[in-house]
Amino acid sequence: MVFYRFVGTATSHLGSYPLKIEVSGRERNRLRLLKDKNIFYQNINGVNVYNIDKLIAMKINAFNGRDKARDLFDINFLFEHYPELFTIANLESIITKFHYYGEKELDLLLEDETHTHKLTSCEEIKTNGFSNALLQKVQNRLNELESESTNENVELVSSRKENIDKYNIIYISI
């Protein structure tokens, strides 16, 4: 459900481009059911704004559900600024999309959208190899998280074993 929609044009030093702003109530009913609404958004100057981790999840969902290169660009921006907020599930989802489309196809989509809609100047973004560079960063982060997860599991198992040994010693000595 869209409460407000503005469709017009915006102008920058690169020329005019289409601009669409929507204020949506899609999440409103879900948020009413939550006791702690702050897990999804915060109020900034009287405007409810999604938290970055929720925004990341929504952007990845958009990226997986359509073929808009701006989603790829947005994910790269979010990943550059907030890599620690990407979960293993987020990263695996991005990698799956890359494997489905292929990096070259995504680069072509990005190049086409960049030039067609004048999203940015060609000097600011190198579309050739953009997807591969992002994929490498995402895979590296996934490897880090999986390694951390493995180390935590090893520590947990080791800790449990120490506790079992300790209790066995106590039991034996009683």
Return the higher-pLDDT residue of 8 and 95.
95
Residues 132-146, mean pLDDT to the nearest whole number:
94
Residues 84-99, mean pLDDT to the nearest whole number:
94
Residues 69-80, mean pLDDT to the nearest whole number:
90
Contacts of 77 (CB under 8 A, 6+ apart): none
User: For the whole model, what pTM was predicted?
Assistant: 0.67
- In order, the DSSP letters of the chain are -EEEEEEEEEEETTEEEEEEEEEE-TTHHHHHH-S-GGGTEEEETTEEEE-HHHHHHHHHHHHHHS--HHHHHHHHHHHHH-GGG--HHHHHHHHHHHHHH-HHHHHHHHHHHHHHTT-S-TTT---TTHHHHHHHHHHHHHHHHHHHHHHHHHHHHHHHHHHHHHHHHHHHH-
Q: Looking at the chain, which residues constitute the CATH 1.20.58.1790 domain(s)?
A: 52-173
Residues 146-154, mean pLDDT to the nearest whole number:
76
Residues 114-122, mean pLDDT to the nearest whole number:
65
CATH class of 52-173: mainly alpha
Average pLDDT, the chain: 77
Task: Pick from 51-65, 100-114, 146-160 the range whose average pLDDT is largest.
Answer: 51-65
Residue 17: pLDDT over 70? no
The pLDDT of residue 171 is 46
